[in-house]
Structure 1
């Protein structure tokens, strides 16, 4: 217990050295981003106002609450994937129902919440379809059939001048860890290779603390301390007993505070304690990311990582590609990843391309394709191809 208190104290000092924005520590997959219309780049002019026109009273009520400081959405996402692997079932589908929002309780403090139900419609959830077919690949990130989860329930406090932000409570570290503009599995790439770096053994949402300091308009540092054994389907305070922690520290450069995940170059180091019950080995590593928007349309990116333990998906990974943001907040991306895994010989190469049609602020449709060369768990097949279709509707 004394060790735990000491680590929390160190973590608190780390957290007072982090970056702050109007939304606190928030990336493309966070509640703050999901509450904002579009991607924050342009004023969208959509093709439709569905579903607002179907339930105008509901949306008017939400708008009134938003003016009083309470913003929330209910949305539903569905993902179907179909592949040609000669192993496994060859197809998967699932959905995520989410209720999320934030309450601006004081001028500098807010409460963020998110409850999800992640479910599958067949024998295999999309997240595991690649593994089912023999590819060491998470092909449907977040669509895992885990059931009802408490993903977020945390307090954010910001400095008056915006130089630091502190968050504590039920955190999802992937909301702010190793960010770039296309990191969200709800609106960007679907494969984990192009989301949070697959060499990082990021924990499930659980009890944690995060924050930091903005040294200037360009230089920031972000840190976190979280429960390495977290289970969001049964949230608890067990970290105070076992003390198994995930720690991260990120130092980065951005063009301005409000473009923290649009124009960003950073280095992240992390460490995860071994599980006290022996189920997980100690793990640690480093990740680098560089992404920069050109004319608020094109975002080339380069990302790499290395880890020394056995719990992360890969121990070496390099990704590169480009994302595109068009009119009506349409978005597209193409990425190429090379990866190696500890204890498995060979190199696996993954290509993903997607186009997100934003029909309205509340309706998005995203077809995608993934091509996995030299699937590490299926040496008998040279290439596995997966087609996907993701939809999102927001109420």
Structure 2
């Protein structure tokens, strides 16, 4: 057994993003979802649901002025496959309550509680497997029940030079992120979310922090519980010493564009489980994305791992995002992947259009095409149609 000292969720290096102190905030983090991207020029089609509960939203705004910001949102995702295998369809829902309390000038407490449910026999997260593809086609839409995915303290340097987080953290909030990484607002397939070659743990105890390295360079790193279980948060990492570590070095055009204009290299390592359920895993990932004229976002992402726990051993993705002034978003992604234990390769394409009825109500149709699905050698391809909806209160 490792020393408990080595199991301490130590320090993570990261950037302070702007004067409001977003800290370690990718697109799917609480801070980013509360603040918005701050770059696009929204022209909403409707005020729904604000127009049906103006008193409630006015109350929320007053709380925000006093340092407490929060959202309650609900997602529904349905997917349909043309595969001859499995159920043929999957659906699930996701209810989240999340927010941040600005307790001091440079310190805040972030929280997020989720309830994830499948509507039928198969949850969208596992629908790719059910359809014969080695693919997570509905990232985050599983059947895990009630989860504590965030409960951490953030401390920021007054001059924006560093940020530290400690507590129940989600490493995918800041690990290898780019502008289209969020499964709640952009791509649904894991191939285009957090790199599918990274064996990122579930949410658990950890520390995250960071530093700016001059005007444009930054360093991000983490140590967290490799066995995190947000359904039953615990301190077992102090006993087992099994941790996940990451270090990222990156370049950005400016702190307020940290995940829009970004080129970075990420190194990571995850300890083996003492009970033999997980081998040691490690790897490296590369990502480059740039927001051109605040409209177009071309990207290329790659990764390689050496263990057995990540979905893919090697992966290469590229694609394009298109932001419209009313905050609609369209995206297309192409992925090539190799997995341990398979002699062949799998190709995945996803395209989606996020239609913003209002800033708080979105509908996103999508299509995923998987060529040479690895779990179904007799099939040449699988097509999955999806429809995701989100409402925020």
TM-score band (shorter)?
over 0.9
Contact (CA 8 Å) 2:2, 2:241: kept in 1 or not?
no
Offset, 1:6: 3.9
The match for 1:100 is: 98
The match for 2:339 is: 341
Q: Deviations 1:278-312 (Å, cap 9, x if unpaired)?
A: 11010000000000011000000000000000000
Q: In structure 2, the residue corresponding to 1:209 is in which secondary structure?
A: strand
Q: Deviations 1:127-165 (Å, cap 9, x if unpaired)?
A: 000000110000000001110000000000001110000
Q: Which stretches in structure 2 are left out of the alignment for 5+ residues?
A: none
The match for 1:63 is: 61
Q: Deviations 1:225-246 (Å, cap 9, x if unpaired)?
A: 0100011001111111111100
Distance 2:366 2:2 in 1: 50
Match of 2:15 among 3, 19, 22: 19
The match for 1:182 is: 180
Distance 1:116 1:7 in 2: 27
Q: In structure 2, the residue corresponding to 1:174 is in which secondary structure?
A: helix
The match for 2:224 is: 226
Distance 2:239 2:8 in 1: 13
Establish whether residue 8 from structure 1 lines up as the match of residue 8 from structure 2: yes
Deviating above 6 A after TM superposition, structure 1's stretches of 4 or more consecutive aligned residues are: none
The match for 1:211 is: 209
Offset, 1:276: 1.2
Match of 2:235 among 234, 237, 249: 237
Establish whether residue 30 from structure 1 lines up as the match of residue 26 from structure 2: no
Q: In structure 2, the residue corresponding to 1:117 is in which secondary structure?
A: strand
The match for 1:267 is: 265
The match for 1:77 is: 75
Distance 1:140 1:40 in 2: 27
Establish whether residue 131 from structure 1 lines up as the match of residue 152 from structure 2: no
TM-score normalised by structure 2 residue count: 0.98
TM-score normalised by structure 1 residue count: 0.97
Offset, 1:116: 0.1
Q: 1:34 to 1:2 in 2, by over 3 A?
A: same
Q: Which stretches in structure 1 are left out of the alignment for 5+ residues?
A: none
Establish whether residue 199 from structure 1 lines up as the match of residue 197 from structure 2: yes
Distance 2:213 2:26 in 1: 19
Offset, 1:36: 2.3
Q: Deviations 1:24-64 (Å, cap 9, x if unpaired)?
A: 10000010111124x32223120000000111111010000
Q: In structure 1, the residue corresponding to 2:343 is in which secondary structure?
A: strand
Equivalent pairs, count: 390
Q: Deviations 1:209-256 (Å, cap 9, x if unpaired)?
A: 011110112000000001000110011111111111000000000000
The match for 1:295 is: 293
Q: Deviations 1:288-347 (Å, cap 9, x if unpaired)?
A: 000001100000000000000000000000000001100211101000000000011101
The match for 2:318 is: 320
Q: How does 1:358-377 map to 2 (within 5 A)?
A: 358-377=356-375
Offset, 1:2: 7.2
